[in-house]
Protein backbone atom coordinates (compact mmCIF):
# COMPACT_ATOMS: atom_id res chain seq x y z
CA UNK A 1 0.00 0.00 0.00
CA UNK A 2 3.08 2.29 0.07
CA UNK A 3 2.46 4.02 -3.26
CA UNK A 4 -1.30 4.22 -2.65
CA UNK A 5 -0.71 5.66 0.81
CA UNK A 6 1.55 8.34 -0.64
CA UNK A 7 -1.12 9.27 -3.19
CA UNK A 8 -3.86 9.37 -0.55
CA UNK A 9 -1.78 11.57 1.75
CA UNK A 10 -1.17 14.02 -1.08
CA UNK A 11 -4.83 13.97 -2.03
CA UNK A 12 -6.04 14.76 1.49
CA UNK A 13 -3.39 17.41 2.16
CA UNK A 14 -4.03 19.26 -1.09
CA UNK A 15 -7.80 18.85 -1.41
CA UNK A 16 -10.40 21.43 -0.45
CA UNK A 17 -12.69 20.94 2.56
CA UNK A 18 -15.71 20.07 0.40
CA UNK A 19 -13.79 17.52 -1.66
CA UNK A 20 -12.18 16.01 1.45
CA UNK A 21 -15.55 14.88 2.82
CA UNK A 22 -16.22 12.75 -0.25
CA UNK A 23 -12.65 11.41 -0.36
CA UNK A 24 -12.69 10.37 3.31
CA UNK A 25 -16.02 8.60 3.04
CA UNK A 26 -14.85 6.70 -0.03
CA UNK A 27 -11.61 5.67 1.70
CA UNK A 28 -13.41 4.45 4.82
CA UNK A 29 -15.93 2.52 2.72
CA UNK A 30 -13.31 0.74 0.61
CA UNK A 31 -10.38 0.24 3.01
CA UNK A 32 -9.71 -1.85 6.08
CA UNK A 33 -9.63 0.02 9.44
CA UNK A 34 -5.88 -0.64 9.71
CA UNK A 35 -5.27 1.13 6.40
CA UNK A 36 -7.42 4.12 7.36
CA UNK A 37 -5.63 4.35 10.73
CA UNK A 38 -2.23 4.35 9.03
CA UNK A 39 -3.39 7.08 6.65
CA UNK A 40 -4.65 9.28 9.50
CA UNK A 41 -1.38 8.82 11.41
CA UNK A 42 0.46 10.04 8.31
CA UNK A 43 -1.40 13.36 8.12
CA UNK A 44 -0.32 16.65 9.75
CA UNK A 45 -2.33 17.22 12.92
CA UNK A 46 -4.67 19.91 11.57
CA UNK A 47 -5.47 17.87 8.44
CA UNK A 48 -5.88 14.71 10.55
CA UNK A 49 -8.43 16.33 12.85
CA UNK A 50 -10.37 17.72 9.91
CA UNK A 51 -10.39 14.33 8.18
CA UNK A 52 -11.41 12.58 11.41
CA UNK A 53 -14.45 14.82 11.75
CA UNK A 54 -15.66 13.47 8.40
CA UNK A 55 -15.27 9.77 9.28
CA UNK A 56 -18.71 8.18 9.81
CA UNK A 57 -19.44 7.62 13.52
CA UNK A 58 -20.04 3.89 13.05
CA UNK A 59 -16.49 3.40 11.73
CA UNK A 60 -14.57 5.42 14.31
CA UNK A 61 -14.13 2.76 16.99
CA UNK A 62 -12.65 0.15 14.63
CA UNK A 63 -10.16 2.74 13.32
CA UNK A 64 -9.17 3.98 16.78
CA UNK A 65 -8.47 0.46 18.01
CA UNK A 66 -5.81 -0.06 15.34
CA UNK A 67 -4.02 3.28 15.83
CA UNK A 68 -0.86 3.95 17.83
CA UNK A 69 -1.30 5.51 21.27
CA UNK A 70 -0.20 9.10 20.61
CA UNK A 71 -2.12 9.77 17.36
CA UNK A 72 -5.17 8.06 18.85
CA UNK A 73 -4.95 10.33 21.88
CA UNK A 74 -4.82 13.40 19.64
CA UNK A 75 -8.17 12.40 18.12
CA UNK A 76 -9.85 11.47 21.40
CA UNK A 77 -8.80 14.76 23.00
CA UNK A 78 -10.63 16.68 20.28
CA UNK A 79 -13.90 14.72 20.39
CA UNK A 80 -16.92 16.22 22.12
CA UNK A 81 -18.71 14.48 25.00
CA UNK A 82 -21.56 13.62 22.65
CA UNK A 83 -19.15 12.02 20.18
CA UNK A 84 -17.44 10.05 22.96
CA UNK A 85 -20.78 8.83 24.31
CA UNK A 86 -21.69 7.60 20.83
CA UNK A 87 -18.31 5.86 20.68
CA UNK A 88 -18.85 4.18 24.06
CA UNK A 89 -22.34 2.96 23.25
CA UNK A 90 -22.20 -0.82 22.93
CA UNK A 91 -18.41 -0.95 23.35
CA UNK A 92 -16.98 -4.33 24.39
CA UNK A 93 -14.75 -4.62 27.45
CA UNK A 94 -11.65 -5.59 25.45
CA UNK A 95 -12.08 -2.47 23.28
CA UNK A 96 -12.21 -0.24 26.35
CA UNK A 97 -9.10 -1.95 27.72
CA UNK A 98 -7.29 -0.94 24.53
CA UNK A 99 -8.59 2.65 24.61
CA UNK A 100 -8.23 3.20 28.36
CA UNK A 101 -4.53 4.01 28.00
CA UNK A 102 -5.49 7.06 25.92
CA UNK A 103 -8.44 8.21 28.04
CA UNK A 104 -8.52 10.12 31.34
CA UNK A 105 -10.03 8.15 34.21
CA UNK A 106 -13.24 10.20 34.17
CA UNK A 107 -13.86 9.19 30.56
CA UNK A 108 -13.19 5.53 31.34
CA UNK A 109 -15.76 5.78 34.15
CA UNK A 110 -18.19 7.37 31.72
CA UNK A 111 -17.70 4.46 29.31
CA UNK A 112 -18.17 1.92 32.11
CA UNK A 113 -21.37 3.63 33.18
CA UNK A 114 -23.05 2.85 29.83
CA UNK A 115 -21.73 -0.74 29.73
CA UNK A 116 -23.80 -3.70 30.85
CA UNK A 117 -22.81 -5.53 34.02
CA UNK A 118 -21.14 -8.44 32.21
CA UNK A 119 -18.87 -6.14 30.18
CA UNK A 120 -17.93 -4.16 33.29
CA UNK A 121 -17.00 -7.44 34.97
CA UNK A 122 -14.80 -8.38 32.01
CA UNK A 123 -13.13 -4.95 32.06
CA UNK A 124 -12.33 -5.06 35.77
CA UNK A 125 -10.96 -8.58 35.35
CA UNK A 126 -8.64 -7.49 32.54
CA UNK A 127 -7.39 -4.49 34.52
CA UNK A 128 -6.10 -6.85 37.23
CA UNK A 129 -3.32 -7.81 34.84
CA UNK A 130 -0.44 -5.63 33.65
CA UNK A 131 0.02 -4.54 30.04
CA UNK A 132 2.72 -7.18 29.59
CA UNK A 133 0.53 -10.04 30.88
CA UNK A 134 -1.69 -12.00 28.52
CA UNK A 135 -4.70 -11.87 30.85
CA UNK A 136 -5.02 -8.20 29.96
CA UNK A 137 -5.81 -8.92 26.31
CA UNK A 138 -8.24 -11.85 26.38
CA UNK A 139 -11.26 -11.94 24.10
CA UNK A 140 -14.58 -13.11 25.49
CA UNK A 141 -15.97 -14.14 22.12
CA UNK A 142 -15.57 -17.91 22.34
CA UNK A 143 -17.51 -21.15 22.08
CA UNK A 144 -18.03 -22.81 25.47
CA UNK A 145 -20.00 -25.88 26.56
CA UNK A 146 -20.16 -27.91 29.80
CA UNK A 147 -18.06 -31.06 30.08
CA UNK A 148 -21.18 -33.27 29.90
CA UNK A 149 -22.23 -31.86 26.50
CA UNK A 150 -22.67 -34.12 23.51
CA UNK A 151 -22.13 -33.70 19.78
CA UNK A 152 -25.76 -32.58 19.32
CA UNK A 153 -25.11 -29.70 21.75
CA UNK A 154 -22.02 -28.74 19.83
CA UNK A 155 -23.90 -28.71 16.52
CA UNK A 156 -26.59 -26.49 18.07
CA UNK A 157 -23.87 -24.09 19.23
CA UNK A 158 -22.27 -23.99 15.78
CA UNK A 159 -25.52 -22.81 14.18
CA UNK A 160 -25.00 -19.42 15.84
CA UNK A 161 -22.86 -16.66 14.37
CA UNK A 162 -19.25 -17.68 14.97
CA UNK A 163 -16.49 -15.28 16.08
CA UNK A 164 -13.36 -14.87 13.96
CA UNK A 165 -10.50 -17.35 14.37
CA UNK A 166 -12.53 -20.21 15.85
CA UNK A 167 -11.65 -23.86 15.27
CA UNK A 168 -12.33 -25.34 18.73
CA UNK A 169 -15.05 -25.52 21.38
CA UNK A 170 -13.86 -25.18 24.98
CA UNK A 171 -15.37 -27.42 27.66
CA UNK A 172 -15.67 -26.19 31.27
CA UNK A 173 -16.83 -27.79 34.51
CA UNK A 174 -19.58 -26.45 36.75
CA UNK A 175 -17.18 -24.00 38.42
CA UNK A 176 -16.16 -22.54 35.07
CA UNK A 177 -12.71 -24.15 35.08
CA UNK A 178 -11.28 -25.07 31.70
CA UNK A 179 -11.29 -28.83 31.07
CA UNK A 180 -10.94 -29.83 27.41
CA UNK A 181 -10.85 -28.50 23.85
CA UNK A 182 -12.62 -30.13 20.89
CA UNK A 183 -11.97 -29.31 17.23
CA UNK A 184 -15.06 -28.18 15.33
CA UNK A 185 -14.17 -30.57 12.48
CA UNK A 186 -14.46 -33.55 14.83
CA UNK A 187 -17.84 -32.37 16.10
CA UNK A 188 -19.26 -32.07 12.59
CA UNK A 189 -18.02 -35.55 11.61
CA UNK A 190 -19.24 -37.42 14.72
CA UNK A 191 -22.58 -39.04 15.75
CA UNK A 192 -24.98 -36.81 17.72
CA UNK A 193 -25.02 -38.95 20.87
CA UNK A 194 -21.23 -39.03 21.38
CA UNK A 195 -19.90 -37.09 24.45
CA UNK A 196 -17.64 -34.22 23.42
CA UNK A 197 -14.99 -35.21 25.97
CA UNK A 198 -14.41 -38.34 23.90
CA UNK A 199 -13.33 -36.11 21.00
CA UNK A 200 -11.07 -33.79 22.99
CA UNK A 201 -7.49 -33.01 22.00
CA UNK A 202 -4.80 -35.15 23.63
CA UNK A 203 -2.24 -32.31 23.59
CA UNK A 204 -3.51 -28.76 24.05
CA UNK A 205 -1.76 -25.69 25.46
CA UNK A 206 -3.52 -23.63 28.13
CA UNK A 207 -2.23 -20.12 28.88
CA UNK A 208 -2.17 -18.59 32.35
CA UNK A 209 -3.29 -14.99 32.75
CA UNK A 210 -0.01 -13.91 34.34
CA UNK A 211 2.14 -15.21 31.46
CA UNK A 212 4.18 -12.70 29.50
CA UNK A 213 1.99 -11.46 26.64
CA UNK A 214 4.65 -11.92 23.95
CA UNK A 215 5.67 -15.42 25.11
CA UNK A 216 2.01 -16.44 25.25
CA UNK A 217 1.36 -14.96 21.79
CA UNK A 218 4.23 -16.95 20.30
CA UNK A 219 2.70 -20.10 21.83
CA UNK A 220 -0.57 -19.29 20.05
CA UNK A 221 1.22 -18.78 16.74
CA UNK A 222 3.06 -22.08 17.10
CA UNK A 223 0.16 -24.12 18.50
CA UNK A 224 -1.54 -25.09 15.23
CA UNK A 225 -4.86 -23.78 16.62
CA UNK A 226 -6.67 -20.54 15.83
CA UNK A 227 -6.86 -19.64 19.51
CA UNK A 228 -5.81 -20.86 22.95
CA UNK A 229 -7.72 -20.55 26.24
CA UNK A 230 -6.50 -18.28 29.06
CA UNK A 231 -7.18 -19.22 32.69
CA UNK A 232 -6.63 -17.49 36.03
CA UNK A 233 -4.52 -18.91 38.86
CA UNK A 234 -7.41 -21.17 39.94
CA UNK A 235 -7.91 -22.61 36.44
CA UNK A 236 -11.10 -20.65 35.71
CA UNK A 237 -11.53 -19.79 32.04
CA UNK A 238 -10.98 -16.07 31.45
CA UNK A 239 -11.27 -16.01 27.66
CA UNK A 240 -9.05 -16.75 24.71
CA UNK A 241 -6.19 -15.30 22.66
CA UNK A 242 -6.59 -15.82 18.92
CA UNK A 243 -3.89 -15.67 16.26
CA UNK A 244 -5.03 -12.18 15.19
CA UNK A 245 -4.50 -10.72 18.66
CA UNK A 246 -1.29 -12.72 19.07
CA UNK A 247 0.10 -11.28 15.85
CA UNK A 248 -0.75 -7.73 16.93
CA UNK A 249 0.94 -8.20 20.31
CA UNK A 250 4.10 -9.66 18.77
CA UNK A 251 4.28 -6.95 16.08
CA UNK A 252 3.79 -4.21 18.67
CA UNK A 253 6.54 -5.69 20.83
CA UNK A 254 9.10 -5.86 18.03
CA UNK A 255 8.19 -2.40 16.78
CA UNK A 256 8.77 -1.21 20.34
CA UNK A 257 12.16 -2.94 20.38
CA UNK A 258 13.10 -1.25 17.11
CA UNK A 259 12.08 2.21 18.32
CA UNK A 260 13.64 1.65 21.73
CA UNK A 261 17.00 1.15 20.05
CA UNK A 262 16.84 4.87 19.21
CA UNK A 263 15.52 5.80 22.65
CA UNK A 264 11.98 6.35 21.33
CA UNK A 265 8.47 5.07 22.01
CA UNK A 266 6.61 3.01 19.39
CA UNK A 267 3.48 5.05 20.18
CA UNK A 268 5.10 8.35 19.22
CA UNK A 269 3.11 10.40 16.72
CA UNK A 270 4.81 11.49 13.49
CA UNK A 271 3.24 14.91 14.02
CA UNK A 272 3.42 15.15 17.80
CA UNK A 273 3.92 18.68 19.21
CA UNK A 274 7.51 19.87 18.90
CA UNK A 275 8.00 20.36 22.65
CA UNK A 276 6.65 16.90 23.47
CA UNK A 277 8.85 15.19 20.86
CA UNK A 278 11.92 17.15 21.93
CA UNK A 279 11.35 16.30 25.59
CA UNK A 280 10.95 12.59 24.91
CA UNK A 281 14.20 12.47 22.92
CA UNK A 282 16.28 14.77 25.10
CA UNK A 283 17.10 12.11 27.70
CA UNK A 284 18.98 9.86 25.29
CA UNK A 285 20.74 12.78 23.67
CA UNK A 286 21.95 13.73 27.14
CA UNK A 287 23.10 10.19 27.89
CA UNK A 288 24.90 10.06 24.55
CA UNK A 289 26.58 13.38 25.36
CA UNK A 290 27.91 12.00 28.65
CA UNK A 291 29.31 8.92 26.93
CA UNK A 292 30.87 11.11 24.22
CA UNK A 293 32.57 13.24 26.88
CA UNK A 294 33.86 10.05 28.50
CA UNK A 295 35.40 8.91 25.21
CA UNK A 296 36.85 12.40 24.68
CA UNK A 297 38.42 12.31 28.13
CA UNK A 298 40.24 9.09 27.24
CA UNK A 299 41.44 10.68 23.99
CA UNK A 300 42.69 13.65 26.01
CA UNK A 301 45.01 11.37 27.95
CA UNK A 302 46.98 10.94 24.72
CA UNK A 303 47.06 14.60 23.70
CA UNK A 304 50.86 14.70 23.53
CA UNK A 305 50.93 11.67 21.23
CA UNK A 306 48.33 13.18 18.90
CA UNK A 307 50.30 16.41 18.65
CA UNK A 308 53.37 14.49 17.50
CA UNK A 309 51.70 12.00 15.16
CA UNK A 310 48.91 13.64 13.15
CA UNK A 311 48.23 10.39 11.28
CA UNK A 312 46.76 8.90 14.46
CA UNK A 313 44.10 11.63 14.61
CA UNK A 314 43.21 11.00 10.97
CA UNK A 315 42.82 7.25 11.51
CA UNK A 316 40.93 7.32 14.83
CA UNK A 317 37.44 7.33 13.25
CA UNK A 318 38.31 4.13 11.35
CA UNK A 319 39.04 2.28 14.60
CA UNK A 320 35.86 3.51 16.29
CA UNK A 321 33.56 2.79 13.35
CA UNK A 322 34.87 -0.74 12.75
CA UNK A 323 34.36 -1.63 16.40
CA UNK A 324 30.91 -0.04 16.44
CA UNK A 325 29.70 -1.97 13.39
CA UNK A 326 31.08 -5.30 14.61
CA UNK A 327 29.57 -4.80 18.05
CA UNK A 328 26.14 -3.76 16.75
CA UNK A 329 25.92 -6.91 14.62
CA UNK A 330 26.49 -9.14 17.64
CA UNK A 331 24.27 -6.94 19.83
CA UNK A 332 21.34 -7.22 17.42
CA UNK A 333 21.71 -11.00 17.21
CA UNK A 334 21.80 -11.41 21.01
CA UNK A 335 18.86 -9.05 21.64
CA UNK A 336 16.76 -11.03 19.18
CA UNK A 337 17.82 -14.27 20.87
CA UNK A 338 16.94 -12.92 24.32
CA UNK A 339 13.57 -11.68 23.10
CA UNK A 340 12.74 -15.12 21.67
CA UNK A 341 14.09 -17.02 24.67
CA UNK A 342 16.88 -18.63 22.63
CA UNK A 343 19.75 -17.32 24.77
CA UNK A 344 20.09 -19.06 28.15
CA UNK A 345 22.82 -19.83 30.67
CA UNK A 346 23.03 -23.30 29.12
CA UNK A 347 24.12 -22.12 25.67
CA UNK A 348 25.69 -18.75 26.51
CA UNK A 349 29.25 -20.14 26.72
CA UNK A 350 29.02 -21.81 23.30
CA UNK A 351 27.45 -18.68 21.83
CA UNK A 352 30.22 -16.48 23.26
CA UNK A 353 32.88 -18.81 21.84
CA UNK A 354 31.26 -18.67 18.40
CA UNK A 355 30.91 -14.85 18.37
CA UNK A 356 34.47 -14.32 19.63
CA UNK A 357 35.70 -16.63 16.88
CA UNK A 358 33.76 -14.63 14.30
CA UNK A 359 35.17 -11.42 15.77
CA UNK A 360 38.69 -12.81 15.74
CA UNK A 361 38.45 -13.98 12.12
CA UNK A 362 37.00 -10.68 10.90
CA UNK A 363 39.48 -8.81 13.10
CA UNK A 364 42.48 -10.52 11.49
CA UNK A 365 41.08 -10.07 7.97
CA UNK A 366 40.30 -6.36 8.29
CA UNK A 367 43.38 -5.62 10.38
CA UNK A 368 45.53 -6.81 7.47
CA UNK A 369 43.54 -4.82 4.89
CA UNK A 370 43.45 -1.58 6.92
CA UNK A 371 47.08 -1.97 8.03
CA UNK A 372 48.27 -2.25 4.43
CA UNK A 373 46.17 0.75 3.33
CA UNK A 374 47.47 2.89 6.21
CA UNK A 375 51.08 1.85 5.54
CA UNK A 376 50.85 2.95 1.91
CA UNK A 377 48.78 6.05 2.70
CA UNK A 378 51.21 7.48 5.27
CA UNK A 379 54.36 5.77 4.04
CA UNK A 380 54.95 4.19 7.45
CA UNK A 381 54.80 0.43 8.13
CA UNK A 382 54.74 1.15 11.88
CA UNK A 383 51.50 3.14 11.57
CA UNK A 384 50.07 0.20 9.62
CA UNK A 385 51.02 -2.18 12.44
CA UNK A 386 49.53 0.15 15.10
CA UNK A 387 46.13 0.47 13.41
CA UNK A 388 46.06 -3.22 12.47
CA UNK A 389 46.56 -4.29 16.09
CA UNK A 390 44.03 -1.70 17.30
CA UNK A 391 41.42 -2.92 14.79
CA UNK A 392 41.93 -6.53 15.87
CA UNK A 393 41.63 -5.67 19.57
CA UNK A 394 38.56 -3.49 19.07
CA UNK A 395 36.63 -5.93 16.89
CA UNK A 396 37.21 -8.79 19.36
CA UNK A 397 36.27 -6.49 22.26
CA UNK A 398 33.18 -5.40 20.34
CA UNK A 399 32.10 -9.01 19.82
CA UNK A 400 32.53 -9.72 23.53
CA UNK A 401 30.64 -6.54 24.48
CA UNK A 402 27.87 -7.34 22.01
CA UNK A 403 27.21 -10.48 24.06
CA UNK A 404 27.96 -9.24 27.57
CA UNK A 405 26.11 -5.91 27.45
CA UNK A 406 22.60 -7.20 26.54
CA UNK A 407 22.92 -10.27 28.79
CA UNK A 408 23.90 -8.15 31.80
CA UNK A 409 21.22 -5.55 31.10
CA UNK A 410 18.62 -8.30 30.81
CA UNK A 411 19.81 -9.82 34.09
CA UNK A 412 19.32 -6.45 35.81
CA UNK A 413 15.81 -6.19 34.31
CA UNK A 414 16.81 -3.35 31.96
CA UNK A 415 15.68 -3.38 28.34
CA UNK A 416 18.74 -4.25 26.17
CA UNK A 417 17.10 -2.74 23.10
CA UNK A 418 16.67 0.58 24.86
CA UNK A 419 20.14 1.11 26.31
CA UNK A 420 22.34 -1.60 24.79
CA UNK A 421 23.51 0.42 21.79
CA UNK A 422 24.50 3.40 23.95
CA UNK A 423 26.57 1.26 26.31
CA UNK A 424 28.11 -0.70 23.43
CA UNK A 425 29.14 2.46 21.56
CA UNK A 426 30.83 3.80 24.68
CA UNK A 427 32.73 0.55 25.25
CA UNK A 428 33.92 0.18 21.65
CA UNK A 429 34.94 3.84 21.40
CA UNK A 430 36.96 3.75 24.62
CA UNK A 431 38.59 0.37 23.92
CA UNK A 432 39.38 1.37 20.35
CA UNK A 433 40.86 4.76 21.23
CA UNK A 434 42.89 3.45 24.18
CA UNK A 435 44.25 0.52 22.14
CA UNK A 436 45.07 2.69 19.13
CA UNK A 437 46.57 5.65 20.96
CA UNK A 438 48.28 3.46 23.55
CA UNK A 439 50.01 1.43 20.86
CA UNK A 440 50.85 4.65 19.04
CA UNK A 441 52.47 6.02 22.18
CA UNK A 442 54.55 2.85 22.62
CA UNK A 443 55.65 2.41 19.00
CA UNK A 444 55.68 5.85 17.44
CA UNK A 445 56.60 8.38 20.11
* Per-residue model confidence (pLDDT) at position 192: 94
Is residue 18 assigned to a domain?
yes
Is residue 283 assigned to a domain?
yes
Residues counted in the chain: 445
Please report, to the nearest 10 degrees, the dihedral formed by the alpha carbons of residues 182, 184, 188, 192 taken in order.
40
What is the pTM (predicted TM-score) of this model? 0.64
* Per-residue model confidence (pLDDT) at position 283: 63
Say if strands 207-208 and 227-231 run parallel, antiparallel, or are unpaired.
parallel
What's the rounded Cα separation, in Å, for the pair 102 and 73?
Answer: 5
Task: Note whether 118 and 25 are same-domain residues.
Answer: yes
* Closest to 124 (Cα-Cα) out of 109, 134, 107, 114: 109
Question: Which of 108-112, 115-119, 148-152 reaches the highest mean pLDDT?
Answer: 148-152
Q: For residue 9, give its domain range.
A: 2-133
What's the rounded Cα separation, in Å, for the pair 290 and 400?
Answer: 23
Task: Note whether 377 and 415 are same-domain residues.
Answer: yes
What's the rounded Cα separation, in Å, for the pair 317 and 306?
Answer: 14
- For Cα atoms 340, 342, 347, give the angle at the middle one, nearest 5 degrees: 160
* Per-residue model confidence (pLDDT) at position 265: 56
Is residue 306 assigned to a domain?
yes
What's the rounded Cα separation, in Å, for the pair 320 and 426?
Answer: 10
User: Residues 24-48: pLDDT tens digits?
Assistant: 888 888 889 988 988 888 888 888 8
Task: Note whether 288 and 228 are same-domain residues.
Answer: no
**In the predicted model, what is the mean pLDDT of residues 119-143?**
92
* Per-residue model confidence (pLDDT) at position 259: 60
Is residue 139 assigned to a domain?
no
Is residue 138 assigned to a domain?
no
Percent residues over pLDDT 70 in the chain: 90
* Per-residue model confidence (pLDDT) at position 1: 52
Which CATH number covers residue 337?
1.10.357.20
* Per-residue model confidence (pLDDT) at position 207: 96
pLDDT range class, residue 278, cuts 50, 70, 90: low
Task: Note whether 38 and 77 are same-domain residues.
Answer: yes
Question: Which of 141-145, 249-253, 280-284 reaches the highest mean pLDDT?
Answer: 141-145
Is residue 374 assigned to a domain?
yes
Domain boundary among 260, 293, 318: 260
Domain boundary among 260, 287, 320: 260
Which CATH number covers residue 51?
1.25.60.10
Residue 155 in this model has a pLDDT that exceeds 70: yes
Domain count, the chain: 3
CA distances from 189 to 107, 144, 184, 186, 319 (A): 49, 19, 9, 5, 69
pLDDT range class, residue 292, cuts 50, 70, 90: low
Domain boundary among 98, 133, 168: 133
What's the rounded Cα separation, in Å, for the pair 147 and 136?
Answer: 26
What's the rounded Cα separation, in Å, for the pair 291 and 273?
Answer: 28
Task: Note whether 158 and 47 are same-domain residues.
Answer: no
Is residue 118 assigned to a domain?
yes
* Per-residue model confidence (pLDDT) at position 99: 85
**In the predicted model, what is the mean pLDDT of residues 368-388?**
92
* Per-residue model confidence (pLDDT) at position 281: 58
Calculate the average pLDDT of the chain: 86
Residue 423 in this model has a pLDDT that exceeds 70: yes
pLDDT range class, residue 175, cuts 50, 70, 90: very high
Task: Note whether 236 and 171 are same-domain residues.
Answer: yes
* Closest to 227 (Cα-Cα) out of 244, 212, 250: 244
Amino acid sequence: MTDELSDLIGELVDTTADEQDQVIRQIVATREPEEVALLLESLPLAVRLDAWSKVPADDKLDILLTMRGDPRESLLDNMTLQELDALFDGMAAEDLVELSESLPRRMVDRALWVMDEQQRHYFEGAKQYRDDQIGRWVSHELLVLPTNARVRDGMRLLRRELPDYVDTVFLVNRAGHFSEAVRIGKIIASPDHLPLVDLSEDVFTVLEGQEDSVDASVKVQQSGFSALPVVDDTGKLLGRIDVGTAGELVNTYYEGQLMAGAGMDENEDLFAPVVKSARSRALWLGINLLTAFMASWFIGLFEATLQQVVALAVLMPVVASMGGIAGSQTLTLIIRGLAMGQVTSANLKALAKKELSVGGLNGVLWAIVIGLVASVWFGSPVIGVVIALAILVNIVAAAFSGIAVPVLLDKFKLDPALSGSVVLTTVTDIVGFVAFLGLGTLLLV
